[in-house]
Amino acid sequence: MSRRAYVRPLDLKHGCVDLSHGAGGRAMQQLIDELFAPAFKSALAADDIARGDDGAVLPPLGAGERMVIATDSHVVSPLFFPGGDIGSLAVHGTVNDVAMMGARPLYLSVGFILEEGFALAELARIVASMGAAARAAGVRIVTGDTKVVEQGNGDGVFVNTTGLGALPAARSLSGAYARAGDSILLSGSIGDHGMAIMSRRESLAFDSEIESDSAALHELVAAMLAAVPSSAECDDPERGLRLLRDPTRGGLASTLNEIAVQSDVGIQLQESALTVKPQVAAACEFLGLDPLYVANEGKLLAVCASADAPRLLAAMRAHPLGAEASVIGEVVEDAQHFVQMHTRFGGRRNVDWLSGEQLPRIC
């Protein structure tokens, strides 16, 4: 299609978002044409966004496959942090949500809410990062939306991504499927993402090499399911993978508590099986934070029949994103849904739900 004639191209170096960019007129179209569409250009087929329709038509799924949909909104501050930015985070987060269902992520939609005055140069960086993350993950960004709010009503950029994926026939994973006797596996170190964010927060800032672990986990998931299929797909329904979950906000502790309630079970953890990178541990010490409650963006929890744990662990460790995987505990009977941990020290403690966000403390 022919390029529209604009008065002048977007000033990506010094320009700012203004209210006209969200108004649906020529300014918004220019933003799409010059900023979003080139960044979201997929290595695969036609550029749906550049075509300019209200929605995207998607090809049918494979025989027996069911559609999985997941959505995530991202309001992280700061927008840029060691190891990533809100753009790559938005792609990884939704790709992972789809993957945790056992589905193959295929398409993403992107919704932006931009604050008036936000620098176009920063927007360009974020958008380029999103495009790169999507291409690396093999997903296509096929449709989107932009709105602009008045200055003071937003944190620069809010992003929503919605993802669609294909779930093979017969596969079923759910947080409600854990049973007493099952093993719990974790793909790697905890606390990296949350502490990377903390390291850039005013007043709390510290110097370190901590980087966010933000990553797309769908290929790790595919390798895991190839080794240990979901229980629904196994000849013996006592065997197999019960669930996958990524411990994001609220950390490992919150996710485990959610599972305990959802599955009506209890959980016993071994602290010595958890991995915390030395600098993450040190940063937590400085601020009085417990790594169990710190966010992760590139890790997953898996619950499987205990007989399948060695095979699952081997499959995880064979993949770069699961190289430090370990069995961290087991599921037990418990009507009160306690998550208990045997500490490295030799004692035991509850790992309770958090009430609200964990805050740095002086006490």
Partner 1 sequence: MKYVDEYRDGSVATQLAAAIAAEADPQRRYAFMEFCGGHTHAISRYGVSDLLPPQVRMIHGPGCPVCVLPIGRIDQAIRLALEHKVTLCAYGDTLRVPASGGMSLLKAKARGGDIRMVYSAADALALARDEPTREVVFFAIGFETTTPPTALVLRQARQLGLRNFSVLCCHVLTPSAIGTILESQEVRQLGTVPIDGFIGPAHVSTVIGSRPYEFFAEEYRKPVVIAGFEPLDVMQAILMLVRQVNEGRCEVENEFTRAVNRDGNLKAQQHVSEVFELRKSFEWRGLGLVPYSALRIRSAYAEWDAERRYALDYQGVADHKACECGAILRGVKKPTDCKLFATVCTPDNPMGSCMVSSEGGCAAHYTYGRFRERVA
Partner 2 sequence: MCLAIPARIVELLEDAQGVVDLGGVRKQISLELVDGVVIGDYVIVHVGYALSRLDPVEAERTLALFASVELPGGAAA
Question: Could you say which of 237, 288, 310, 320 contacts partner 2 (CB under 8 A)?
Answer: 288
5 binds partner 2 (CB under 8 A): no
Question: Considering only residues 217-276, where is the footprint of partner 2 by CB under 8 A?
Answer: none
In angstroms, what CA-CA distances link 60 with 8, 57, 63?
41, 9, 9
Q: Which is nearer to partner 1, 80 or 338 (CB)?
A: 338
For the stretch 202-211, contacts whose Cβ atoms lie closer than 8 Å and that sit 24 or more positions apart, written own/partner, are: 204/287, 204/360, 206/283, 206/286, 208/279, 208/282, 208/283, 209/82, 209/279, 210/82, 210/277, 210/279, 210/280, 210/283, 211/82, 211/83, 211/84
Structure tokens at 103: 């589905």
Closest of 106, 110, 107 to residue 144, by C-alpha: 110
Determine if 273 is a binding residue for partner 1 (CB under 8 A). no
Does 50 bind partner 2 (CB under 8 A)? Our answer is: no
Of 262 and 340, the one with the shorter C-beta distance to partner 1 is 340
> Using the rule CB under 8 A, is 349 a contact of partner 1?
yes
Q: How many residues bind partner 2 (CB under 8 A)?
A: 16
For residue 196, the surrounding DSSP H or E stretch is helix 192-198
Segment near partner 2 (CB under 8 A), from 70-78, 131-139, 220-228, 282-290?
A: 282-290
Q: Does 238 bind partner 1 (CB under 8 A)?
A: no
Nearest approach, Cβ of residue 201 and partner 1 (Å): 9
Annotate each residue in 201-220 with x if it binds partner 2 (CB under 8 A) or - if it does not, as one string: -----xxxxx----------
For residues 30 and 10, the answer to whether their CB atoms sit within 8 Å is yes
Q: Is the dihedral of CA 93, 99, 103, 105 positive or negative?
A: positive
Segment interacting with partner 2, rule: CB under 8 A, options 27-35, 115-123, 284-292, 349-357:
284-292
Can you tell me which of 203, 226, 235, 236 binds partner 1, judged by CB under 8 A? 203
Amino acid, res. 191: G
Closest CA to 98 of 176, 157, 161, 178: 161
Our CB check for partner 2 shows the closer of 39 and 289 to be 289
Please report how close the Cβ of residue 153 comes to partner 1 at its closest, in angstroms.
14
| Contacts of residue 124, Cβ cutoff 8 Å, sequence gap at least 6 | 12, 35, 39
Q: Tell me, what amino acid is at 311? A: R
Output DSSP code: residue 284: H
Using CB under 8 A as the binding rule, whether residue 344 contacts partner 2 is answered as no
Q: Which of 68, 157, 287, 305 binds partner 1 (CB under 8 A)?
A: 287
- Three-state secondary-structure class, residue 187: coil
Determine how β-strand 241-245 pairs with β-strand 84-85. unpaired
332 binds partner 1 (CB under 8 A): no
Chain residues in the site for partner 1 (CB under 8 A):
203-204, 278, 281-282, 285, 287-288, 290, 336, 338, 340, 342-350, 352, 355-356, 359-363
Chain residues in the site for partner 2 (CB under 8 A):
206-210, 278-279, 281-283, 285-286, 288, 361-363
